[in-house]
Structure 1
Amino acid sequence: MKMDPDDAATRRAARPVICYPTVTLPPVPLEAYRTALADAEIAGRVRIAPREAETFRVPAGAFFRVRSVEGPQVGDLNLWAADDLSERFYSGKTRALHGTHVSTGARLWSCFPHLRPMATIVEDDLDWYGIDSDGGSVHDVIGTRCDPYTAHLLSGRQYHACCHSNLTRALAAHLGCAATEAEPHVHDVLNVFMCTGFTRDTGQYFMKASPVRPGDAITFLAEIDLLGALSACPGGDCGSEHSSDAAPCHPLEVEILRPAPGSLAGWAEPSRNGYDRGHGA
C-alpha cells in the first residue's frame, strides 16, 4: 500500500477558492419581480401526467410556476430559447455560478456562445429546506436526468418512461418530427423538487425522498422567450428508485402567469454574451 506523503495534511489544508465570484453580476431585482408576480394573472396551465412530459411556451417578461398538485413528485425541466433551440439551459455553468442546488434569486443560464439568463427564480416554497445533515438539498443542477442508456448499461433492460425519453417524445411532438431528430436537443436538466447530494465517504450522487407536498411550487420569471419541457419523473419523489414502474408517481402542473401592463417597468430582456468569439485566433 502506498503511504501518504509527509506533507499530506498540509496539501489537504489548502484554502478553498470560489471559482466564479458573482459579485459583479447584475443584481436580481427580486422585490420588483415579486411585486409584478403578485398581480399577475394566470394565462394558461399545462398538466403533466405521471411518467410523461409536456412542452409549454412562456413569453419574455412573463412568469411560469411548477407546482406539486396531488403528491410528492420530482420533475425534470429543459428550457430552450423559443426561436433557437441551439440556445438551451446550461446546468453546468448554472452550477458553477450558483452552486449545486438553486433557489430564490438564482438564475438559469444558457449555453455558449449565448451565456445569458434564461429564467430567474422569484419564489420557492422549499427554500426553507437548506442543506440537511446528509448534505442534501433541493432543486439540483448536478443530476443529468434518468435515461434509457444508463438504465441499459446497469441493468440490460429497455425502459422508455425515463425523463430523457419523456422529454424526447414531448419535444418531438411539439416540433412534429421523429424522436431521433428531437433527441439531440434534450439536455441536462434542472431537477425540480428533487433532494440530492454527494455521499461524504465515496462522493457518489445520492437522492432521498423529496420534501415537496401538494401545493408547493417554484416560480420563475422568463427572461427571454422560452420553450420549456417538463417530465414527471418515474421515480416519483425519488425516495426509493430512480426509474420505476412501481414507485408512486403524481402529476405536476405548470402555470403561465402574465404580469399587468407596466408592472415590470425598467425590465429588459438580457443581451447575449458580449465575448467577441475571437478565441485568440
Structure 2
Amino acid sequence: MKPAHPEHPAPADAPARAAIPPVVCYPVEGLPHPDLVALRAARDGWRKVSETLVPPRDARCFDVPAGHFVRITSVEGPQVGDLNLWSAQDLSERFFSGKTRALHGTHLSTGDRLWSSLPFLRPLATITADTLDWYGFDDHGGGVHDVIGTRCDPYTHNLLSQGGQYHHCCHSNLTRALADRTGLPLHEAERHVHDVLNVFMCTGFLRDTGQYFMKASPVRPGDFLELFAETDLLGALSACPGGDCSSEHSSDAARCFPLLVEVFAPQAPPAGWSPAPRNGYDRSHGL
C-alpha cells in the first residue's frame, strides 16, 4: 500500500510535471472496426446449437465455431463470471487481457474485441451486445466487464488466509473444466488457464491507494453479454464463488447463482465477414 504521506518533498516544478497531458499509448483509429450492423443482421433467423448451464462456484467449457454467436446470461440472481477463451485448434493461442486492455481500456462493451496472445494477436471475438452498457463509470470509478483483474485463485487465497485451502476459486474451476474437456492432467491444464474477462463484474481502482476494488454487480436476471466468434473458439466460464462480488472472493457464504451460455448459428455468415487471420508480423525480430 502506498504511504499516507510522501517520504520525499515535491520539487519546485512538481505542478508543471503533473500537468503534462497524457498520450494514448495505442491509438486504435487504424484498426479495422467491426461492422456491427452486418453482425447484428446475421442474428435474423439464427438457431440455437448448444446450451450450457454453469453451476454456482463451478465452471464449464463450451465450443463456439467461427461465425457463431455466444451469449452469457444471468439467470436466477446476480452473478459474475470469469471467461477464458482459446483457439479451438491451439491452446497456446488464448485471450490476451493485457493487450485487450491496452487497446480498448479497462472495461469492455459493445464493439470492443477480445484479442489473442502473441505471436497470433488477432481478434478472437467481438462484443456485439451488452445489456449493461448503460452503466458506464460510476462515482467510485467502477465499471462493468473488466480486464484489469486476474481471477480469484487458491494461491492468493492461501497467502491471504495464512494457509487456507479453497478449491472453488475461478482459477481452479477453470482448470478442472479444461482438464475435463481436453483430457489433460490437471497440472497441464492449469498452465493454459489465463487472465480473464470478468463478465458482469463491477470493478475499478481506489483513487487514494490505487488498489483494485470490486463492488456489487448491477447485473440482474435477463442481462447478457453477447460475443461473435472471429475464429473457432473453445471457451470456459466460471460462476465466481464471490456471487455478485459485493463482499469477498472465494467464499462459501456469498449467494451464488448459475450462468447460462448459449451458442447460436446464423443462417449465413455476416455480409463481408471472414475468419480473423493470424497477425502479419514476419517474426524475424530484426535478424
Normalised by the size of structure 1, how large is the TM-score?
Answer: 0.98
CA distance in 2: counterparts of 1:48 and 1:238, whole angstroms: 17
Aligned pair partner of 1:132 in 124, 128, 138: 138
Deviation at 1:177, TM superposition (A): 2.3
**1:154 aligned residue:** 160
CA distance in 1: counterparts of 2:145 and 2:81, whole angstroms: 9
Aligned pair partner of 1:80 in 82, 86, 94: 86
Give the AA of the match of 1:216. Answer: D
Matched, 1:17 2:23: yes
**2:283 aligned residue:** 277
Deviation at 1:270, TM superposition (A): 1.2
Matched, 1:239 2:246: yes
Q: Secondary structure at the match of 1:44?
A: strand
Aligned pair partner of 2:121 in 108, 115, 118: 115
Deviation at 1:264, TM superposition (A): 1.3
| Unpaired segments ≥5 residues, structure 2 | 1-6
Q: Secondary structure at the match of 1:149?
A: helix
Structure 1 segments (4+ residues) deviating >6 Å? none
CA distance in 2: counterparts of 1:139 and 1:39, whole angstroms: 28
1:93-108 to 2 correspondence within 5 Å? Answer: 93-108=99-114
CA distance in 2: counterparts of 1:195 and 1:242, whole angstroms: 13
Give a deviation string over 1:55-95, Cα, whole Å, max 9, x none: 00010000000000110000000000001000000000000
Give a deviation string over 1:24-68, Cα, whole Å, max 9, x none: 001210011111124321111000000000000010000000000
Give the AA of the match of 1:207. Answer: M
CA distance in 1: counterparts of 2:45 and 2:126, whole angstroms: 18
1:104-253 to 2 correspondence within 5 Å? Answer: 104-155=110-161, 156-253=163-260
Higher mean alpha-carbon deviation, 2-11 vs 118-127, is at 2-11
Q: Secondary structure at the match of 1:256?
A: strand
CA distance in 2: counterparts of 1:77 and 1:177, whole angstroms: 19
Matched, 1:69 2:64: no
Give the AA of the match of 1:250. Answer: F
The RMSD of aligned alpha carbons is 0.8
CA distance in 1: counterparts of 2:204 and 2:186, whole angstroms: 32
CA distance in 1: counterparts of 2:8 and 2:129, whole angstroms: 51
CA distance in 2: counterparts of 1:271 and 1:72, whole angstroms: 37
| Unpaired segments ≥5 residues, structure 1 | none
CA distance in 1: counterparts of 2:131 and 2:8, whole angstroms: 49
Higher mean alpha-carbon deviation, 32-41 vs 192-201, is at 32-41
CA distance in 1: counterparts of 2:43 and 2:105, whole angstroms: 25
Give a deviation string over 1:105-132, Cα, whole Å, max 9, x none: 0000000000000000000000000000
CA distance in 2: counterparts of 1:230 and 1:188, whole angstroms: 12
Q: Secondary structure at the match of 1:171?
A: helix
Deviation at 1:237, TM superposition (A): 0.1
Aligned pair partner of 2:61 in 50, 55, 58: 55
Paired positions, count: 280
Give a deviation string over 1:166-220, Cα, whole Å, max 9, x none: 0000000011122111000000000000000000000000000000000100000
Give the AA of the match of 1:188. Answer: D
